[in-house]
């Protein structure tokens, strides 16, 4: 039964009781939808990072000026424990990925943390992305076939916690027992001992069966997935298999491979013609091909389907709004405004949602409201093709404000990011229309 989020008012099938201690006493306990609880969790994690850093600094000050007090060592070791718990994320996710590859799953990559991308590279043959906020991790795996899915999933999920257990056992084997005692931390820094307890902590947290709400919905912990692996219904297995074709198509869409995007989504739809996520992906392909009317009709039809989660509805609303903007018809802008507003209400933390809302506001002439969202999306979205589109929308908005120099700068950035971007021609046309007026000598803002 859907419940209403006490913060944003959006109804959701999945909600979380959340203790928000920064509110007044009357608002301590709230029932939050996945999007709001994810934002709250991110805010609390940021606060935890800050306080851990403060603990480390205060601990050092105590050790320097009051070395006889054990509190300094305690605080410093608490900070080191937090750092060690972050370090356990990498081997944990590698365990999932290596096991997934061993059982025949397709491993699309490993993501460490959230926020802006800091580094992307290869590790043991896997694509690894490290983001600015070291909060959790994710191994992106999907089944190529349905054969033996339950057992393969159990092995893949179990491998992550198993790695943490093996690390803890290895440390226990090589470090004397007295050095693993918590008493050893009273007057000393023992990184290996702290790393031992950090792995045990991460092991316990991951094996605890619960669900973590993120911006795009709930994610079951390893423990919850292990408990349900062998009782999964056939529909859930087919949905996971459909996710394989969706992920392959999305990987092609990310790099601008329009042909690959279509081929993978059509292969998936041949097996699962009513899978909503595959149909949504097909709409992105249609927009890539410039078949905007077909894409809009598809999203409009999908929005009429029953039993839709708030997150899925928000994604569909966002895509419909973006199709309306690309069609450049004034009569479609009210619909784009309504849809992008609803999408932002549910998924305001997602860069692509912000970019669409910024494009809609700019198209409505509310450029001062739209530009900050477009600039933020340009800086935070990961796909070069999406960044190029945001740069084009900024260029168009700046040109309409009369800032030709700024508009040309963003247009150049769009060409660099993705020379094949279909919005470049439209942006060039708008910028050319300003040539009859004087160019304003300004430099880009927030670029």
Pairwise CA distance, residues 302 & 273, whole Å: 13
Which tens digit of pLDDT belongs to each residue from 54-76? Answer: 999 999 999 999 888 888 998 99
The DSSP string of 239-294 is HHHHHHHHHHHHHHHHTT-HHHHHHHHHHHHHH-TT-HHHHHHHHHHHHHTT-HHH
CA nearest to 37, candidates 257, 214, 263, 239: 214
| 110, two tokens | 């490993």
What local confidence, expressed as pLDDT, does residue 93 receive?
A: 97
Prediction pTM value: 0.84
Which tens digit of pLDDT belongs to each residue from 146-175? Answer: 999 999 999 999 999 999 999 999 999 999
Angle, nearest 10°, between helix axes 404-417 and 423-432? 160
Q: Categorize the per-residue pLDDT at 388 as very low, low, confident or very high, splitting at 50, 70 and 90.
A: very high
C-alpha distance from residue 46 to each of 25, 42, 226, 347, 409 (Å): 22, 6, 29, 19, 34
CA nearest to 271, candidates 238, 295, 235: 238
Q: How far is CA 19 from the centre of its chain?
A: 24
Tell the burial category of 306 from Cβ atoms under 10 Å away from its Cβ (0-12, 13-18, 19+).
Answer: exposed
CA nearest to 126, candidates 115, 139, 137, 117: 139
CA nearest to 88, candidates 145, 29, 146, 166: 166
Three-state DSSP class for 23? coil
Q: Categorize the per-residue pLDDT at 116 as very low, low, confident or very high, splitting at 50, 70 and 90.
A: confident
Domain ranges in the chain are: 82-231
- For residues 379 and 382, the model is more confident at 379
Which tens digit of pLDDT belongs to each residue from 8-40? Answer: 666 655 444 433 333 433 344 566 665 666 677
What local confidence, expressed as pLDDT, does residue 391 receive?
A: 97
Range in 9-18, 119-128, 209-218, 325-334 with the lowest mean pLDDT: 9-18
What local confidence, expressed as pLDDT, does residue 281 receive?
A: 95
Pairwise CA distance, residues 221 & 203, whole Å: 11
Pairwise CA distance, residues 191 & 401, whole Å: 57
Which tens digit of pLDDT belongs to each residue from 433-445? Answer: 876 554 443 333 3
Tell the burial category of 1 from Cβ atoms under 10 Å away from its Cβ (0-12, 13-18, 19+).
Answer: exposed
What local confidence, expressed as pLDDT, does residue 108 receive?
A: 95
C-alpha distance from residue 59 to each of 70, 90, 183, 321 (Å): 9, 27, 17, 52
Q: Categorize the per-residue pLDDT at 303 as very low, low, confident or very high, splitting at 50, 70 and 90.
A: very high
Q: Categorize the per-residue pLDDT at 140 as very low, low, confident or very high, splitting at 50, 70 and 90.
A: very high
pLDDT mean over 294-320:
93
Which residues contact residue 54 at a Cβ distance below 8 angstroms, ignoring those fewer than 6 apart? none
Which tens digit of pLDDT belongs to each residue from 242-292? Answer: 999 999 999 998 888 889 999 999 999 999 999 999 999 999 999 989 999
Identify whether the C-beta of residue 78 lies closer than 8 Å to the C-beta of residue 59.
yes
Pairwise CA distance, residues 47 & 26, whole Å: 22
Pairwise CA distance, residues 447 & 441, whole Å: 16
Question: What is the CA angle 273-275-279, rounded to 5?
Answer: 80
H runs (alpha helix) in 349-433: 351-363, 367-380, 384-400, 404-417, 423-432
Residue carrying the six token digits 């389907």: 305
H runs (alpha helix) in 66-207: 71-87, 89-103, 149-174, 191-207
Query: Phi, psi (5° rounding) for residue 250?
Result: -65, -35
Residue carrying the six token digits 């750092």: 83
What local confidence, expressed as pLDDT, does residue 16 receive?
A: 44
Query: Phi, psi (5° rounding) for residue 319?
Result: -65, -40
Pairwise CA distance, residues 246 & 446, whole Å: 34
What local confidence, expressed as pLDDT, does residue 18 receive?
A: 39
Q: How far is CA 305 from the centre of its chain?
A: 26
Identify whether the C-beta of residue 281 lies closer than 8 Å to the C-beta of residue 253.
yes
Pairwise CA distance, residues 312 & 327, whole Å: 23
Cα torsion angle, 368, 370, 373, 378, sign: negative
């Amino acid at each position: 039964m859907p419940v209403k989020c006490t913060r944003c008012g959006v109804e959701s099938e999945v909600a979380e009781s959340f203790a928000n201690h920064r509110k007044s006493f009357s608002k301590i306990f709230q029932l939050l939808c996945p999007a709001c609880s994810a934002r709250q969790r991110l805010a609390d994690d940021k606060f935890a990072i800050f306080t851990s850093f403060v603990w480390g600094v205060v601990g050092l000050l105590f050790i320097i000026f009051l070395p006889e007090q054990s509190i300094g060592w305690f605080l410093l070791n608490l900070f080191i424990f937090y750092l060690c718990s972050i370090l356990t994320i990498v081997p944990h996710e590698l365990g999932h990925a290596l096991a997934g590859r061993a059982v025949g799953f397709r491993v699309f990559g490993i993501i460490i943390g959230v926020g802006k991308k800091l580094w992307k590279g290869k590790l043991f043959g896997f694509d690894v992305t490290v983001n600015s906020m070291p909060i959790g991790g994710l191994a992106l795996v999907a089944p190529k076939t349905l054969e033996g899915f339950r057992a393969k999933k159990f092995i893949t999920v179990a491998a992550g916690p198993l790695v943490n257990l093996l690390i803890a056992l290895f440390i226990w084997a090589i470090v004397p027992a007295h050095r693993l005692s918590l008493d050893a931390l009273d007057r000393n820094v023992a990184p290996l001992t702290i790393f031992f307890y950090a792995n045990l902590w991460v092991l316990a947290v991951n094996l605890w069966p619960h669900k973590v709400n993120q911006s795009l919905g709930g994610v079951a912990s390893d423990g919850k997935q292990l408990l349900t692996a062998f009782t999964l219904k056939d529909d859930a297995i087919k949905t996971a298999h459909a996710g394989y074709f969706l992920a392959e198509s999305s990987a092609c869409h990310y790099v601008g491979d329009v042909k690959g995007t279509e081929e993978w989504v059509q292969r998936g739809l041949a097996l699962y013609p009513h899978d909503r996520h595959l149909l949504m992906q097909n709409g992105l392909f249609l927009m890539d091909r410039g078949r905007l009317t077909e894409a809009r009709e598809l999203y409009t039809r999908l929005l009429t389907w029953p039993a839709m989660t708030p997150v899925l509805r928000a994604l569909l609303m966002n895509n419909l709004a973006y199709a309306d903007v690309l069609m450049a018809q004034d009569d479609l802008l009210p619909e784009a405004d309504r849809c992008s507003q609803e999408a932002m209400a549910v998924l305001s933390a997602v860069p692509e949602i912000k970019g669409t809302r910024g494009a809609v506001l700019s198209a409505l002439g509310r450029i001062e409201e739209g530009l900050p969202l477009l600039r933020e999306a340009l800086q935070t979205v990961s796909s070069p093709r999406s960044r190029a589109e945001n740069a084009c929308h900024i260029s168009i908005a700046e040109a309409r404000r009369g800032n030709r120099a700024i508009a040309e700068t963003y247009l150049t950035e769009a060409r660099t990011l993705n020379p094949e971007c279909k919005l470049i021609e439209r942006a060039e046309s708008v910028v050319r229309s300003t040539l009859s007026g004087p160019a304003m000598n300004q430099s880009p803002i927030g670029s």
